[in-house]
Amino acid sequence: MTDVTTTPSAPAGPEPLHRRLGVTDGELDVIREKLGRDPNHTELAMFSVMWSEHCSYKSSKPLLKTLPTRGSGMMAGIGDNAGVVRIGDGLAVAFKIESHNHPSAVEPYQGAATGVGGILRDIFTMGARPIAVLDALRFGDPTDPRTRHLVDGIVRGVGGYGNCVGVPTVGGELVFDPSYQGNPLVNVMAIGLLEERMLILAEAPGPGNYVVLFGSTTGRDGIGGASVLASATFQDDDPNKRPTVQVGDPFAEKLLIEASLELIDRRLVEGIQDLGAGGISCAASESADKAGTGILLDLDAIPRREPGMAPWEVMISESQERMLATCRPENYPAVREVCDRWGIPIALVGRVTTDGDIAIVEGGIDPDGEPNPSAKEIARVPARALTSDAIVHYRAATPPARRRQAPAPGIPLTAHDGLPERGMDPAAVLAALLGSPNLSSRRWVYEQYDACVQSNTVEWPGHGAAVLRVKGTRKALVATTDGNQTVSALDPHLGAQLSVAEATRNVSITGARPLGITNCLNYGNPERPEAFWQLQEAVRGMGEACRALGIPVTGGNVSLYNEYPGGAIAPTPEIGVVGLLDDISLLVRPPFTTVGDNVVLVGQSTPGMAGSAYAALAGISSEDAPPGIELDREAALQSFIREAIGRGLVASAQDVSGGGLAVAVAECCMWSGLGAKLRLGVLGSPAIELFGESPSRLVLSCRPRHAPAIDLLARQFGLHAETLGTVGGERLRIELTGQGATGAAEERGSGVADALDVSLADLRHTWDHGLARALGAEPGPAYAAEAAEAASPGETA
């Protein structure tokens, strides 16, 4: 089958309707086949949203099927609104990550806000109370005015929604990379907690049951959001697309959370589904298909916020904060009472049927659930055809003509004359890295997010993974997001493996056991074979990493068409992880804790600097490649640190990643206020040892008396542990020793290798101000004027 979105030889005149709705000629033929006739306008609109990439996964489905999706304690997974995993004590955790990239590029505040709202609905739709949000954001050049506009609006949008709805934002990422210049990424992860008995699925069982719609009314906002915005290559910020962005109302969502959880708790509804992409069409067809039923909808009964809406507009509107539920007729009065009490409009809009169709009528339904004699059928489509039996495209995948190969792990370290470390001053490089937009403190962002509402936050944002206690138990949940786009741009398979490894490592170093991963795959146009190859390689790498680590994929989201006239984004596999710590008193964090502790590096560096923060700063030789990963070693490292923490041997543990060992240790120092004096053996190149980002490494500190036990345990796991020095003082000092310990001092003929010797105060100052400085976020003249105006007494005095 050929995919033709536009045909150069197309005759002049208006585009046919299906193409304007994003349905290709080939897809229209399949629709005709499934219906046995031509679709009418409403039906075509329903197919266009449901067969969009966003709703149908039509390009990615064949790939996603290869992922490991089973794990112990899983109650719900891929195909459900969110993954749900048991955590004991009769409790379970629900979590999922989702993208809202294109809406945020068009209208940053509302795009990001509704991204938060959408993912929260996925959580409470499962019967879970949302307890945390993490936001992973990616932008272009931070000094560019448009980037600053996007950063400001998106950060305000995430905060504006999360703060109001009362769910703390406890972590996430903020990354700048030129490839996101025209296409920022907004990936939002939400976590919820539920009693196991609360679990409910998005289905519409029981023919004769009532179908009710509650929450906000239906309007023209967000028409075609899924099909037009999320599933097509991006053409600048076209003002004509503004109406496709949804508008969020966190106050309405807060009421919706409380009402929905009460309905589920009291068993008043049989199934419940939120209205997200694809609106009523999606919620109705998925609910019916999952239960093997059909739904008859009374179009006139759907509450509107504006007159004159065409049936197709009602069916695909993506107005926010709406829920579709199925209830037994005898429970309807109680359902109404709950919604009335929370001040939420509710309407009886249809019946569950046996025919497997989504049928829409105008003119009403009689008390027996049949259309009134005078009613007119507007549309009739098999639910399956819209969802489980939707079209699947087997896209062509072609690797780019020229790409780099990672050096195999374990190949001998050699001094690499191509690397620019000769002549470098390690202290200056460390300062530059710590103050860089990607590694400096994210404080400017997270201070705009309520991080502690609900009284669960143990670890605030800023110092590694987020930690939330589970009230009424000794347990804690540990959560993080990570995605490596720089290596993915060079090698999408390796980049995805590294992303899974880093995200899970960040959970394991607290002592917690990762329960599962959720993923947001941000890639380019799948109709381009090179972009589809990137996606295919990433899914392969992600699956391999999850299998090696014994962690299931519990859900996720695919965001394709992340392209704009300037090019495609770097492939970005965003990985969200939730881990369980059985006893919160064993929690270990990255900052050093005690003067005199040993500092131990576990794991060994491997060659390759490509894709590192150092490479972005200093450049690298053209033949260099990113460091590879041995997944078995990664699994051993994570098992080792969890075991060591469980035995009470570890005082602090920190992952070695962006900026390498030097940045990792600097963070342990800055975050604790304790210095360290270390000695680092350099075999090959100082740049690799200090700033290389080869995976499967961590820095821990421990009481000196525990050092032999740590060493022994590491050997049992087949790992190399090396004591680098001790915690103490107010400076970070790293001496370089060994045959590769060369540097500027040697160039000057001193014959002694350079040491890195810096005060913590200096490091902290650089790190603390880097981001705000890069964004120009210090108050300027215009800002001061606005502030003065806002602070004037006005009418509130």
Of the pair 163, 436, the CB lying nearest another protein is at 163
Which has the closest alpha carbon to 582: 86, 66, 11, 195? 86
Non-local (6+) Cβ contacts of 80 within 8 A are: 126, 201, 202, 555
Q: Which stretch binds another protein (CB under 8 A): 97-105, 152-160, 373-381, 631-639?
A: 152-160
Question: What b/e readout covers 756-769, taking b as 16+ CB neighbours within 10 angstroms?
Answer: bebebeebbebbbb
Residue 230 CB neighbour total at 10 angstroms? 26
Which of 79, 88, 343, 673 lies at the binding interface for another protein (CB under 8 A)?
A: 343
Residue type, 528: R
Find the binding residues for another protein in span 56-85 (CB under 8 A).
none
Report the residue number, 211 or 344, with the smaller CB distance to another protein. Answer: 344
| 54 annotated active-site | yes
* Cβ–Cβ under 8 Å, residues 500 and 481: no
Task: Give least dist CB 779 to another protein, A.
Answer: 8
* Type of residue at 651: A
Binding part of the chain for another protein, among 154-162, 181-189, 269-277, 428-436 by CB under 8 A, reads 154-162
Contact call for residue 151 and another protein (CB under 8 A): no
Interface with another protein, residue 163, by CB under 8 A: yes
Give the contacts of 58 (CB within 8 A, at least 6 positions apart). Answer: 51, 390, 391, 392, 393
Instruction: Select from 223, 246, 281 the least CA-distant residue to 110.
Output: 246
Cβ closest to another protein, residue 394 vs residue 783: 783
Q: How many CB atoms lie within 10 A of CB 418?
A: 11
Instruction: Kindly state the smallest distance separating residue 168's Cβ from another protein, in Å.
Output: 9
- Rule CB under 8 A: choose which of 47, 210, 342, 532 binds another protein: 342
Q: Which of 164, 119, 742 minimizes the C-alpha distance to 481?
A: 119
Q: Where are the alpha helices (DSSP H) in 550-685?
A: 613-618, 631-646, 660-672
Sheet holding 169-176, edge to edge: 74-76, 83-88, 91-99, 185-195, 129-139, 169-176
Angle between helices 660-672 and 760-775 (to 10 degrees): 100
Closer to another protein by Cβ: residue 27 or 450: 450
Q: What is the DSSP string of 205-239?
A: -STT-EEEEEESPB-STTTTIIIIITTS---TT-G
463 is catalytic: no
Closest CA to 365 of 379, 348, 381, 380: 348
- Nearest one of 521, 539, 505 to 640, comparing CA atoms: 505
Handedness of CA 297, 301, 304, 306 (dihedral sign): positive
How far is 64 from 43, CA to CA, in rounded Å? 28
The answer to whether 356 and 382 are in contact (CB under 8 A) is yes
From candidates 166, 205, 206, 550, binder to another protein by CB under 8 A: 166
To another protein, the closest distance from the beta carbon of 251 in angstroms equals 3
Nearer to another protein by Cβ, of 73 and 166: the residue is: 166
To another protein, the closest distance from the beta carbon of 255 in angstroms equals: 6
Q: Which of 17, 78, 164, 413 binds another protein (CB under 8 A)?
A: 164
Give the position of tokens 């919604």: 339
Q: Which is nearer to another protein, 401 or 788 (CB)?
A: 788
Query: Residue with structure tokens 């993208």?
Result: 99
Angle value at C-alpha 254, between 249 and 257, nearest 5 degrees: 125
Alpha-carbon gap, residue 350 to 333, rounded angstroms? 15
Tell me, residue by residue from 471 to 490, as one string, x for binding to another protein by CB under 8 A and - for no binding: x-------------------
Contact status, residue 592 vs residue 672, Cβ threshold 8 Å = yes
Cα dist from 640 to 24, 515, 697, whole Å: 52, 17, 11
Contact status: 172 vs another protein (CB under 8 A): no
Q: How far is the CB of 242 from another protein (least distance, A)?
A: 23
- Least Å distance, CB 246 to another protein, is 17
Single out the residue of 34, 102, 469, 493 in contact with another protein (rule: CB under 8 A): 469
Least Å distance, CB 195 to another protein, is: 16
Region of 135 on the Ramachandran plot (φ > 0 left; ψ -120 to 50 alpha; else beta): beta
Q: Which of 18, 41, 100, 720 is catalytic?
A: 100
Nearest alpha-carbon partner for 213 in 295, 126, 129, 273: 273
Q: How far is the CB of 448 from another protein (least distance, A)?
A: 5
Q: In the complex with another protein, which residue's Cβ is closer, 408 or 452? A: 452
Which of 54, 393, 416, 463 does the annotation list as catalytic? 54
Sign, CA dihedral 411-412-417-419, equals: positive
Spatial separation of the C-alpha atoms in residues 493 and 542, rounded to whole Å:
8
Residues 204-263, interacting with another protein (CB under 8 A): 249-252, 254-255
| Residue 549, amino acid | L
CA dihedral angle for residue 683, residue 708, residue 590, residue 684, rounded to 10 degrees: 0
Tell me, residue by residue from 567 to 596, as one string, x for binding to another protein by CB under 8 A and - for no binding: -----------------x------------
Restricting to residues 484-543, which ones interact with another protein according to CB under 8 A?
none
Q: How far is CA 77 from the centre of its chain?
A: 16
Closer residue to another protein (CB): 87 or 558: 87
Q: Which is nearer to another protein, 344 or 494 (CB)?
A: 344
Residue with Cβ nearer another protein (159 or 182):
159
For another protein, the binding residue among 41, 146, 156, 404 (CB under 8 A) is 156
- For residues 163 and 181, which CB has a smaller minimum distance to another protein in the complex? 163
Indicate which single residue of 93, 133, 165, 226 sits in contact with another protein (rule: CB under 8 A).
165
DSSP state of 207: T
Closest separation in Å from C-beta 699 to another protein = 24
Size of the site for another protein (CB under 8 A): 41
308/781 with CB nearer another protein: 781
Question: What are the φ and ψ backbone dihedral angles of 339, each rounded to 5 degrees?
Answer: -65, -40
Shorter beta-carbon distance to another protein: residue 249 or 537: 249
Whole-angstrom distance, CA of residue 539 vs CA of residue 571: 11
Q: Least distance in Å: CB of 34 to another protein?
A: 44
Site for another protein in 734-793 (CB under 8 A): 779, 783, 786-787, 790-791, 793
Please list, in sequence order, all residues whose beta carbon lies within 8 angstroms of the beta carbon of residue 508, skipping any fewer than 6 positions away.
Answer: 514, 579, 638, 641, 642
> For residue 643, what are the contacts with CB-CB under 8 A and spacing of at least 6?
713, 717
Which one among 115, 160, 215, 311 touches another protein, defined by CB under 8 A?
160
Give, as ranges, the residues between 438 and 467 that touch another protein (CB under 8 A).
446-458, 460
**Least distance from C-beta 797 to another protein, angstroms?**
6
Q: How far is the CB of 89 from another protein (least distance, A)?
A: 17
* Contact (CB, 8 A) for 495 and 573: yes
Strand partners, 752: none
Q: How far is the CB of 318 from another protein (least distance, A)?
A: 21
Name the one range near another protein by CB under 8 A: 160-168, 361-369, 478-486, 666-674.
Answer: 160-168
Residue ranges in contact with another protein by CB under 8 A: 156, 159-160, 163-166, 249-252, 254-255, 342-343, 446-458, 460, 469, 471, 584, 779, 783, 786-787, 790-791, 793, 796-797
Enzyme catalytic residues: 54, 100
